Structure formats: C-alpha cells, structure tokens
Amino acid sequence: MDTQLDLWEVFIQSKIGAHHVHAGSVHASDAQMALQNARDTYTRRNEGSSIWVVPSKFVVASTTNDAEMFFEPANDKIYRHPTFYVMPEGAKQI
Amino acid sequence: MNVAAIENDFQQKIDKDLFIEPKDAMPDKYREHLIRQISQHAHSEVIGMQPEGNWINRAPSLRAKQILLAKIQDEAGHGLYLYSAAETLNISREELIAQLHSGKAKYSNIFNYPALTWADIGAIGWLVDGAAIVNQVSLQRTSYGPYARAMFRICKEESFHQRQGYEIMAHMMNGTAEQKEMAQDAMNRWWWPSLMMFGPHDSDSPNSGNAFKWKIKRKGNDELRQKFIDKTVQQAEVIGLTVPDPDLKWNDEKQCYDYGEIDWDEFNKVISGNGPCNKQRINHHIKYHNEGAWVREAALAYSQKIQPNAI
C-alpha cells in the first residue's frame, strides 16, 4: 500500500542553551530521515542549533477539557511565589 | 456533555479570543471547514511550485536561479507546515493528497495560469505572493492554534518572496524597451487574477458566515483586497508600470482606491476547471506522486531492515 510514512514531532533549539521548542511535524520512515526532513522543513534560515524528533504516537498530552482539574491544585498555593511574603521595611537586596 | 453544551463552551472560548487546539472539543462543521480551508491552502503552496519550477532551467543568471530555487523550496516547506496543521484535525496525509487528485479539494485558482516569460516570475512573486501575504497576515490570528502558528512561520518567510519578485520587475523596467514591454505584459496578465485570489465579494461569499463567527476568518475578502490594491498601486508607479484598470482612481474621501469590476465569469470558469492549466497542474502532481511511490516503499523497507522491531 502507498503510504506517506510515519508522523514525527519536531522540536528546535534556537541557540545553544535555549529550550527545545515544538516547531511542527514531518513525515519520515526512520529517525535519520526525520531529522533531515526536519532540518529542511524548519531550519532553512538558521533557526536551529539542535533538533529533536519524536514519533508522534509516543507523545502523551493532557487535554484542555481536563485542564482545570489538572492544573487547579497549583492555584491556592500562592506561598510558592516570592511576592507572597511581606518584607520588613528598609530591608534591601531581598 | 451534549452537543449543544459542547458547542456553547466552544463558542465561549472563541468569543474570548482563545485558540482552539487539536484535542479540544469542536463542532464537526468547524473541523470540516478547517480541513477544507487548510488543505486548500496547503495544496496551493504545492501546486504553486509548478509555474515557477518551469523557469528554473531558464533563469537568466546563476543568482536568479539560486533565488528561484530557494523560493520554490520555501513553497514546498509552506505546504508541509500546512499539511501538518491539517493532519492535527484527524485526517491523514494520504486522504489529503487523494482529495487533491480526485478534485474534491481545491487549490488557489491563480496557479491555473501559465508563467509565460521571465517577467511572470517577477509578477508572481510581487503580486501573487503579495496578495497571499495580505491574506496570511490576517490569518495569523485565526482561531485554530496549529493553523495560526503555521501562518506565523509562513509570513516570516514570505516577504523575501515578494521582494525578489518586485526586484525582477524593477530590473526589467530599467532595461530595454522589449524588457519593459515584457514586464508590463506580465502585469497586465497577473493583476486581475491576483485580485481574484481574495475570493468573491463578501456579499457573494458562500462560506463566510460561520467562518467569522468561529474566527477562522478575521477580515472580509473585500477589505483584504482593498488593502492589497492600496499598497501595490504605489509600488507599480515607482517602477513605471501601469495598473491595467482604467477605472482605478484614488478616492480622497474614502482614502483608498476605487477600482473596476472584476470579471467574475472568468473566475468561475477557471475555478470550475476550465482555466488555461487546470488539467496540466493536477496531471503533473498525480504523475510525480505515483512515480515517487517506489521511493516511499524503499524508505519503508530500509527502516524495517535497520530496525526490524521498530514501532
């Protein structure tokens, strides 16, 4: 059967030290082809210093529908933010 | 949740200008509309390589040839960004290509016109890509996340296309009488089809209602067309080209150009399959798609060989 090959997700690091950020996807039959296709598709103008490719079927994602339930526990823990604390008048560099 | 509740939730998100992402619940009609629009857009990028590819071997200098190759490679890339975006809506690449081949999916009408001279390569970059940019800039705020992100990437690359086209036209207008004539002839042939790229007048546009409600479309066809005309006329004047529209006139009161009536009979003729190159474009795609089947098979066989237990 004719096929358009497997789907891979592409993550690009724009410069060394930065995070790899999702750029899109490509079709490829193996990892090497996926890397080369990702380079040709997403870094024609020096957008990258490193590329990750991952077979799309292995990406596990949370769903927007459950986002509230999933992320809500962080909402009431405002003491995790530095702005929660009251600093004594006059204290510097803190 | 029942369908009405899902649609209600969905509309609330849209009204708050939130992006819709692939796994979100969405009305079937929204999904269908997006598949139709994004795939049409992807096919346009890919079919659009044909009129230009026709000139790679005849480019007038090595510089021109390198630029043209890079531009065409970009168009292939843009097609791929958009196919990826369409595939997030649960349709496979195979299905998308099959729809192109069967005629179920369309591509932009403009690519059913031939590129007859080198000046056409200038006109395509300047006018056709110029018109596409106006449309695509507004689509950067379309409501479907993957589509908006693809548009963002495409817009960043597209202005090179327009500038290289305008440079070709400017060069020719600085040349011999024959070259000037050639540039004007290309202008005459591409101007009106470029205006048609924005689609029918809003009052005659069959798919607009929901597209606005769902914020797939942010601006009307006529508003975008006007924007394109207003910025392009000045560019034509600077290099001495005449816009082939006797009714074109600056309207001081409205602060924009008035322009002549578009030949919608021609538009409908070309869109229904009777343009100069419709059959040639699709046959070419089918031929090379089929001839490439062995490459895909070989790639698969190779991946099995190097990694027999692979996914």
Per-residue pLDDT for A54 more than 60?
yes
* Residues β-bridged to residue A53: A10
Instruction: Output the pTM of the full model.
Output: 0.92
Quick: pLDDT tens for B277-305.
999 999 999 999 999 999 999 999 999 89
Cβ–Cβ contacts within 10 Å for residue B148, how many? 16
> d(Cα B13, Cα B20) in Å, to the nearest integer?
8
A65 touches chain B (CB under 8 A): yes
Per-residue pLDDT for B109 more than 60?
yes
* Residue B285, pLDDT score: 97
* Residue B203, pLDDT score: 86
Quick check: helix, strand or coil at residue A94?
A: coil
Burial of residue A34, with CB atoms counted within 10 A of its CB: 0-12 exposed, 13-18 middle, 19 or more buried: buried
Compute the average pLDDT of residues B167-194.
98
Q: Which of residues 91-110 of B touch A (CB under 8 A)?
A: 92-94, 97
Domain boundaries, chain A: 6-84
A2 → closest Cβ in B23, B153, B293: B293
- In the numeric block, the tokens 């817009």 are attached to B155
Using alpha carbons, list the distances in angstroms from residue B66 to B36, B55, B58, B59, B115. Answer: 33, 12, 12, 9, 18
More confident residue, B27 or B206: B27
* Residue A67, pLDDT score: 81
Per-residue pLDDT for B229 more than 70?
yes
* Residue A74, pLDDT score: 74
* Residue B2, pLDDT score: 80
Residue A64 banded pLDDT, cuts 50, 70, 90: confident
A56 touches chain B (CB under 8 A): no
B296 → closest Cβ in A3, A41, A57: A3
* Residue A2, pLDDT score: 66
DSSP β-ladder status, A50-55 and B249-251 = unpaired
A4 touches chain B (CB under 8 A): yes
Length of chain B: 311
Distance from CA of B20 to the nearest CA of A (A): 9
**By percentage, how much of chain A surpasses pLDDT 90?**
70
Closest CA in chain A for residue B85: A24
Using alpha carbons, list the distances in angstroms from residue A50 to A19, A26, A27, A36, B110. Answer: 10, 16, 19, 12, 38
A25 touches chain B (CB under 8 A): yes
**Residue A4 in contact with residue A15, Cβ under 8 Å?**
no
Compute the average pLDDT of residues B116-128.
97
Mean pLDDT, all residues of chain B: 94
Q: Which residues contact A34 (CB under 8 A, 6 or more apart)?
A: A8, A10, A26, A28, A53
Binary contact (A45, B157; C-beta < 8 A): yes
Residue A73 banded pLDDT, cuts 50, 70, 90: confident
Per-residue pLDDT for B204 more than 90?
no
A40 touches chain B (CB under 8 A): yes
Per-residue pLDDT for A65 more than 80?
no
B93 → closest Cβ in A4, A29, A40: A4
A-B C-beta contacts closer than 8 Å: 67
Residue B207 banded pLDDT, cuts 50, 70, 90: low
> d(Cα B125, Cα B190) in Å, to the nearest integer?
11
Q: Which of residues 250-309 of B touch A (CB under 8 A)?
A: 293, 296-297, 299-300, 302-303, 306-307
> d(Cα B142, Cα B148) in Å, to the nearest integer?
6
More confident residue, B73 or B273: B73
Q: Maximum Cα–Cα distance for chain B, whole Å? A: 72
Tokens of B70: 């890079």
Quick: pLDDT tens for B4-31.
888 999 999 999 999 999 988 899 999 9
Residue B265 banded pLDDT, cuts 50, 70, 90: very high
Q: Maximum Cα–Cα distance for chain A, whole Å? A: 75
State the ipTM, two decimals. 0.84
- Hey, what CATH topology would domain A6-84 get? Ubiquitin-like (UB roll) (3.10.20)
